Homo-oligomer: A and B are copies of this chain.
């Protein structure tokens, strides 16, 4: 009999979460630790080892020999190299001068526990989780789009995550939505999809609209402009606030136009939306689907589904990372 469990680890800017997961997506046990104040790699690895050791050895799991492997989703995780490279929000990946260092995470964790380990970025982990446990179950061709602080993506072709030549494929948040006159992106480029279709992008669109049309009433005017979040915009839109609805229509239009180009690339069965902004439901889905349909070649019109992620919110990242380990 095969080993019944895998471990999924989600490395975020604030905390590291992990769980032992079975083949059906049940989390047997989970734990997490706060990593904000950890500044050395050794400090981080000690905490990681302690937590993993703990969850492996609870009676419900039954020890090392029950574990098939470990999947890790991390910012800038590279599948081929098993590394984390230049992750700006993880202090422990930097040297004493604050310069980013390459962290050979796969090698280090394999050395400690002896399991096979796979590392990739968070969006790829989400895509793998969606395919095994979520809305893309049984699909062999789909694209996962994560709409969070930024816009990430995991592309699945023929049942496999696309890693590309170098392990960095699937940066669809940095395809260009608005050329030349677009917004400045943190990546240095102009007009990236991420500057519009992320939580930050939505808040910015709202602020811009409020400023451009000072006479227009909006529930959002009750908030200090600099404090407006995408959640505020969604709540106002849900109450019928027209300016806020317009913000979502604009965001959806750019997102749907981008989706039409993604479809021309890999002809997926579905595009699955994951993350905070996807919670806005019809507010974002309707204009997105409309714009996508308007921009698809006729062979694809009406044929590509846009779906909501079915990974359970708080555990999605653990499930995604765990799903990677089943492929080992």
Chain B residues near A140 (CB-CB < 8 A): 165
Whether A257 lies near B297 (C-beta < 8 A) is no
Name which of A167, A187, A189, A267 has the most chain B CB atoms within 10 A of its CB: A267
Q: Knowing A297-B174, A298-B188, A303-B166 touch, does A262 contact B260 (C-beta < 8 A)?
A: no
Interface string of A259-274 (1 = CB under 8 A from B): 0111011111100000
Assess A170 versus B269: contact at CB under 8 Å? Given A158-B160, A162-B157, A295-B189.
no
Q: How many residues of A contact B (CB 8 A)?
A: 41
Each complex incorporates copies of this chain amounting to: 2
Q: Is the C-beta of A115 less than 8 angstroms from some C-beta in chain B?
A: no
Please, which residues of chain B bring their CB within 8 A of the CB of A297?
171, 174, 187, 189
Q: B267 contacts A163, CB within 8 Å? A: yes
CA distance A141 to B157 in the complex (A): 13
What does the 1/0 interface line of A134-145 toward B look like (CB < 8 Å)? 000000110000
Which listed residue (B158, B165, B265) contacts A155, Cβ 8 A? B265
Choose among A141, A158, A257, A261 the residue with the greatest number of B CB atoms under 10 Å from its CB.
A261
* Any B CB within 8 A of the CB of A38: no
Contacting residues, chain B, for A262 (C-beta < 8 A): 265
Binding site for B on A (CB under 8 A): 140-141, 155, 157-158, 160, 162-172, 174-176, 178-179, 187-189, 257, 260-262, 264-269, 295, 297-300, 303
- Which has the most chain B C-beta neighbours within 10 Å: A172, A179, A299? A299
Residues of B within 8 Å of A257, CB to CB, are 176, 179
Contact A266 B168 (CB under 8 A): no
Contact assessment for A165 and B141 in the assembled complex, using a CB-CB cutoff below 8 Å: yes
Tell me if A164 and B268 are in contact (CB < 8 A).
yes
A-B complex: 3 closest residue pairs judged by Cβ atoms:
A164-B267, A169-B267, A175-B261
Query: Contact check: which of B157, B160, B165, B188 meets A269 at CB < 8 Å?
Result: B165
If A157-B164, A158-B160, A164-B141 touch, whether A265 touches B172 (CB-CB below 8 Å) is yes
Residues of B within 8 A of A162 (CB): 157, 265-267
